[in-house]
Structure 1
Amino acid sequence: MDNLLTIALEAHSEERNHHRRYEIVVGRDLLDDWTVAIHYGRVGQGGQAKRYASAKADDMKAIVRERLLRRLSAPKRIGCPYRLAAFNAGPGIDIQSWLPGEVMARFFHSAG
């Protein structure tokens, strides 16, 4: 899989003993289909993974958007927000179309 975009989010709460990591990796496979790999779990542990693939980029963009929006609801669900921990974009990927500004801005806002 050719990794074109990686975004990692982490949620930490000492009081609740929450130390979670959520990583989304967008890429292309050998058949040139779009892929989204999601890795999640407790920081420092093996965690779980889910993978999606489609010839249509819009299908994969919808998954990425839905997963990011779900992470934004974390304060209500788990008591602490996710914050941007890592970001990496390869050449030639349209970041704006994969990571909508209005969604990403909320991760930066919650960090402040």
Structure 2
Amino acid sequence: MFEFSILLEACNPEKKHWRSYFVASGKDLLGDWVVEVSYGRIGARGHRKTKVCADQEAAREEVLKCLERRVNAPKRLGVPYKVKSIACPENSAPSFWCPPELLQANILQNKQQLI
């Protein structure tokens, strides 16, 4: 069902922030584009919102709008969101769905963890 999905987590033990954010987009059984967002404290039930979009471009814009706020997390939470998992079709790049700042920050963090 989902063409794109991403799971983000932000953990700041000092401030007791343990946040999870999941965004997925794809077509439902009726062929409508749907964007589903789940968020909340890691391990808790959390909240879920679903929005029906007119087409793939509208769904993409909705996903970008949701993820752009996650880019500013260090200002609010003290730590950035880290990409825990991402899934998209082979013919589509994650950069089509995600803000470049979010992907770039996670690429840099992963390189630092490897060094």
Compute the TM-score of the two structures, normalised by the length of structure 2.
0.83
Q: Secondary structure at the match of 2:31?
A: coil
How far 1:91 sits from its partner (Å)?
A: 5.3
Counterparts of 1:3-82 in structure 2, within 5 Å, are 3-82=2-81
Q: Secondary structure at the match of 2:2?
A: strand
Give the AA of the match of 1:17. K
| C-alpha contact (below 8 Å) 1:7/1:24 kept by paired residues | yes
How far 1:86 sits from its partner (Å)?
A: 1.1
Identity over aligned pairs, percent: 32
Cα-to-partner distance string for 1:11-36 (whole Å, 9 max, x where unaligned): 00110111100000111112211111
- Correspondence 1:85 to 2:81: no
Cα-to-partner distance string for 1:2-59 (whole Å, 9 max, x where unaligned): 1222100000011011110000011111221111100000000000011011232111
Q: Secondary structure at the match of 1:16?
A: coil
| C-alpha contact (below 8 Å) 1:22/1:39 kept by paired residues | yes
Q: What value does the CA root-mean-square deviation take over the aligned residues?
A: 2.0
**Structure 1 residues not aligned, in runs of 5+:** none
